[in-house]
Amino acid sequence: MSLVVVDAGGANLGSVCYALQRLGVEARVSADPVEIRAAPRLVLPGVGAAGPAMARLHSLGLVEVLRAFDRPLLGICLGMQLLFEASEEGDTACLGRLPGRVSALRPAPGLRVPHMGWNRLRRLRDSVLLAGIGEGEWAYFVHGYAAPIGPDCVAACDHGGPFAAVVERGPVMGAQFHPERSAAAGRRLLANFLELGA
């Protein structure tokens, strides 16, 4: 299995690679546009803010590569947010692979922002990424911004309001939660991604 993890500067690179290793995949971490363009599948992880992350992708010459990539692509956490058209965080133009604008989570009584910890997934429709993941399974989140529930949202979550937890549009997919830290549900989601086209 050949897979490239895009080095977008996120602090979760090591944990994502280790989670893939536990599934029998030795992922290659790369910021090389040639290698990323040729990869059979990509994982785009991310932790941090949209503006600096997009600035890094621009500086590496990866924005157009990721916009044109037509094989399985999985965004994780900030990486998922970057798949959308724009983010309210720093008024940042993103990759535009999915329609919609990422916005800040709103504080609510008894709820803190950022959203940190375990929360339940609510399935909205069947999806290859969610095969074997049941209604109400737990996933681990760390984020202050989130994508809206749109036509590509296959699972939602709620933290002061509903938001997209898992998205899927053809080969473009994303998880707002951290599958590498989400026990059984996270392992299954990554395994489902690895099985695509295998």
Q: Among the options 115, 143, 159, 178, which is catalytic?
A: 178
Yes or no: say if 98 and 83 are a contact pair by the CB < 8 Å rule. yes
CA–centroid distance for 21 within its chain: 18
Where does the chain show beta strands of DSSP type E?
4-6, 28-30, 42-44, 73-76, 84-87, 92-93, 98-104, 115-120, 122-123, 138-143, 145-146, 153-158, 162-169, 172-175
- Active-site residue flag, 94: no
Q: Among the options 77, 94, 153, 157, which is catalytic?
A: 77
Distance CA(100)–CA(45), nearest Å, equals: 19
Tell me the CA distances in angstroms from 56 to 30, 97, 104, 147, one per residue in order.
Answer: 13, 18, 22, 21
Q: Among the options 17, 115, 180, 195, which is catalytic?
A: 180
- Active-site residue flag, 178: yes
Both tokens assigned to 38: 């040729």
The dihedral of CA 128, 156, 2, 98: what is its sign? positive
- Active-site residue flag, 180: yes
- Omega before 179 cis (within 30°)? no
DSSP code of residue 191: H
Known catalytic residues are 77, 178, 180
